Amino acid sequence: MASEITYAEVKFKNESKSEPPAAPKEKTSAHQGNPGFPKQLLVSLLILLLLVAIAFLIAFIIFFQRYSLLLKEKKKPIEVSYNKVRCEKMNSTVKVNTQEEQNFITRNLEGSSAYYVGLSDPEGKNQWQWVDGSPYNESTTFWRPGEPSHRDEQCVMINSVRGSWGWNDAHCDAHQRSICEMKKVYF
């Protein structure tokens, strides 16, 4: 059995008898694009990459400067006077407010030693203050004649010279004994 192929022409009632529309003509001209476009894109990307690298470099420099300042602060020794460290464990370095306190303290001291008391001039401006922050009464002082004598001596020691006890300004880092004041403890 052989099969036949049959073709039929179909026409519609509303169809006009004109020529079928022609396909649009293809443009045959050469492409007129921007030949420098890939170069511009490459240059723009390189500039962007350079700006990002500069921003990271600046951020790194700022971070390094701040970090190095932190390291310097960590390495810087904390300046704490010798007598403060010794007396902090017990409460505070002694304050001498009256002649009776001065006499009581000196009766119990060795005459051959010097002892820190809790009076200091932290800024070296002759503005003395007690370590607990209480006011310093200039009328109740036991300075030796001519003392305080040096602005760079910012701590006070009590010492005996020929059997007479008195105050002397001294450097805070000298290794001397300290007189510490304790709170009364009740058991």
DSSP string over 129-173: EETTSPPP-TTS--BPTT-S--TT--EEEEEEETTEEEEEEE-TT
- When comparing pLDDT for 22 and 50, which is higher? 50
Position 48 pLDDT exceeds 70 = yes
Identify the domain containing residue 144 by its residue range.
82-181
Is residue 18 in a domain? no
125 and 96 in one domain?
Answer: yes
106 and 129 in one domain?
Answer: yes
99 and 175 in one domain?
Answer: yes
133 by Cβ neighbours in 10 Å (0-12 / 13-18 / 19+) ranks as: exposed
CATH of the domain at 168: 3.10.100.10
Position 71 pLDDT exceeds 80 = no
153 and 170 in one domain?
Answer: yes
Per residue in 103-157, pLDDT (tens digit) is: 888 888 888 888 888 888 888 888 888 877 777 888 777 888 888 888 888 888 8
Distance CA 106, CA 104 (A): 6
Distance CA 180, CA 172 (A): 15
- Specify the pLDDT at position 141: 77
177 and 92 in one domain?
Answer: yes
Is residue 69 in a domain? yes
117 and 68 in one domain?
Answer: no
Amino acid at 106: T
Is residue 105 in a domain? yes
| 43-65 exposure pattern, b = at least 16 Cβ within 10 A, e = fewer | eeeeeeeeeeeeeeeeeeeeeee
149 and 133 in one domain?
Answer: yes
Is residue 20 in a domain? no
- Specify the pLDDT at position 129: 85
Position 166 pLDDT exceeds 80 = yes
Mean pLDDT score, 82-95:
56
Instruction: Work out the percent of the chain whose per-residue pLDDT is above 90.
Output: 8
Torsion angle of alpha carbons 148, 154, 157, 161, nearest 10°? -40
Q: How far is CA 170 from the centre of its chain?
A: 32
Mean pLDDT score, 71-99:
59
168 and 118 in one domain?
Answer: yes
Is residue 89 in a domain? yes
Per the structure, the count of domains in the chain is: 2
Question: Model-level pTM greater than 0.75?
Answer: no
- When comparing pLDDT for 91 and 40, which is higher? 40
Distance CA 117, CA 96 (A): 8
Position 53 pLDDT exceeds 50 = yes
Coil, helix or strand for 92? Answer: strand
